[in-house]
Structure 1
Amino acid sequence: MYTASCLCGAIQLKINTDIPKIFVCHCQQCQKAQGSAFVAIAPIHTQDLEILTGQEQLGEYYATENKKRVFCKICASPLFSARLDLPEIVRLRVGIINEPLNAQIASHAFTNYKAAWFEILDDHAKFPEAVC
């Protein structure tokens, strides 16, 4: 079990499952959404994610017709994304987890689009054109 929160603390989450793997996406959409070289996510079943406080502060942006990005309306922290065709899964942004996360990177997606100034130095699986 883990807890998570946005930057301002208005949204508090509880994750009722283990998180063994982190997936990293280097696509341009994720770079822009995070303001960084990549996004680090963990797929979580919606039944394992509780919104403890701040439900009214959740904002949504549809990056595509099928995928929404959920963020805090106050501090704009990205929290998770969700595909409409997979309503039972959210892709939690692991940087919002409060406790130390003992998980390993499983793979890097869209490595053909990685930021020119960022070098991937690990040996984890790399997918040049994978779906994020």
Structure 2
Amino acid sequence: MVQGECNCGAVSFTVDAGISDVFVCHCSICRRSTGSGGIAVAVVANKALAWIKGQDQISYWSKPGHEWHTYFCQVCGTAVPGENDAESMYLPVGTLTSGCENLRVAHHLYVHSKASWEEIGDSGKQHIENYKP
């Protein structure tokens, strides 16, 4: 079982699914949203995620003109799991507190858009745009 929470503990969740692959998105939207080189996430089926507490503390923002959303704790601002598509959720792997010891970066997305100062130094496969298994 995988567990996670935000910085302040207002939002917490469990995931009843094995997670092994991490996807790092380097697009300009994710960079601006996180203030870093991008966001590292795992993707799980909707039914695998269960909220322990704080679902009412989650807010989201949608970039106008795009099908992009970011979900965050409205108390501390931590990125939290959100809708990836109709069947799946993305989990910001930085919020995982247990059950994540064997995670590895498998894919880098939108590498053509990565910050000029960022160097990708792991063995994750690099994709010019998105990757769909």
Q: Same fold (TM over 0.5)?
A: yes
3-state SS, counterpart of residue 112 of structure 1: helix
Shift of 1:129: 2.5
Shift of 1:131: 5.8
Q: Compute the RMSD of aligned alpha carbons.
A: 1.7
8 Å CA contact 1:24–1:109 kept in 2: the answer is yes
Alignment-derived partner of residue 52 in structure 2: 52
Q: TM-score, normalised by structure 1?
A: 0.89
Alignment-derived partner of residue 24 in structure 1: 24
3-state SS, counterpart of residue 51 of structure 1: strand
Q: TM-score, normalised by structure 2?
A: 0.89
Residue segments in structure 1 that go unaligned for 5+ positions in a row: none
Q: Distance in 1 between matches of 2:47 and 2:17?
A: 10
Shift of 1:130: 2.5
- Identity score, percent: 28
Q: CA deviation digits over 1:97-118, x for unaligned, max 9?
A: 0024312211111111111221
3-state SS, counterpart of residue 30 of structure 1: helix
1:97 aligns with 2:96: yes
Alignment-derived partner of residue 126 in structure 2: 126
Residue segments in structure 2 that go unaligned for 5+ positions in a row: none
Q: CA deviation digits over 1:73-92, x for unaligned, max 9?
A: 00010113324xx2220111
Alignment-derived partner of residue 71 in structure 1: 72
Q: Distance in 1 between matches of 2:53 and 2:93?
A: 18
8 Å CA contact 1:67–1:81 kept in 2: the answer is no
In proportion to residue count, which structure has more strand?
Answer: 1
Shift of 1:5: 0.3
Q: CA deviation digits over 1:11-62, x for unaligned, max 9?
A: 1111111101001110001111111101111011110101111121011111
Counterpart of 1:94, as a letter, is V
Q: Distance in 2 between matches of 1:105 and 1:74?
A: 29
